[in-house]
Copies of this chain bind each other. A is one copy, B any other.
């Protein structure tokens, strides 16, 4: 009978498995240093589950359940949950199980508004600092988006779309800005999964991307910023409309 690994099993395995020189061995084996701490791995795994919608908004996150699911003990789980809470994907409730942040109309509106603003700032900076290599990468991503659009591949389209936004922000060469953007973006991704009808906007969205890339290419900060902010605003409008009927308009878990 197979059974899921318990924390103890995992700990024992980890101990026995490699007498010593673990890191050296891993590096010499050509493995990418996967050696992140357990709580980081847990955070990444949980983020993924939440953003992909496998853990539904409002679902309560019970420590022992997650601990059994991931085969690690409660401690790193707790740390991971705290991390995700800080990023807005999880909501902590005093003396209660934390839960996946529910979708609330007002919060979603504010989220996209903030995201649009931050991307505008990033675009303005990026227009001043973007390199030829950045631009080339953006054009490649844009081409990829077009391909995935034509092939109708929803997931690939979304991934490429995400990457193009991320790349613009990174071109701003501002780490704190990129960090806050990443936090907001993952929450936006979570929301998007539950929105329908986004495909209707694909062609329009691609045109907007093209205009933004042109503005960046022309090193026009104001234009790039304005266009990107509006672009995000458009997406927000579609998402909000799509979700409007299906979530608590006021709040939830009241």
Contacts and interface: CB of A to CB of B under 8 A. Distances in A.
Given A86-B86, A121-B121, A110 B79 contact: no
A107 interface: yes
A189 interface: no
Contact of A114 (B37, B177, B183): B177
A132 to B, nearest CB: 22
Contacts of A86: 83, 86-87
A175 interface: yes
Contacts of A78: 79
A102 to B, nearest CB: 14
A232 to B, nearest CB: 12
Interface residues of A toward B: which range?
Answer: 20 to 34
A142 to B, nearest CB: 25
A175 B110 contact: yes
A111 interface: yes
A83 B84 CA distance: 10
Contacts of A37: 94
A128 to B, nearest CB: 11
Contact of A111 (B94, B114, B121, B176): B176
Interface in A102-130: 107, 110-111, 113-115, 117-118, 120-122, 124-125
A55 B168 CA distance: 36
Contacts of A8: none
A110 B180 contact: no
Contacts of A146: none
A174 B125 contact: no
Contact of A176 (B82, B114, B173): B114
Contact of A75 (B75, B87, B88, B177): B75
Top 3 nearest A-B pairs (CB, nearest first) are A117-B121, A180-B180, A114-B177
Interface of A: 37, 39, 75, 78-79, 82-83, 86-88, 94, 107, 110-111, 113-115, 117-118, 120-122, 124-125, 173-177, 179-180, 183-184, 187
28 contacts: A39-B82, A79-B79, A79-B82, A82-B82, A82-B83, A83-B86, A86-B86, A88-B176, A107-B176, A110-B173, A110-B174, A110-B176, A113-B174, A114-B121, A114-B180, A115-B176, A117-B121, A117-B122, A117-B125, A118-B118, A118-B121, A118-B180, A120-B121, A121-B121, A176-B184, A176-B187, A180-B180, A180-B183
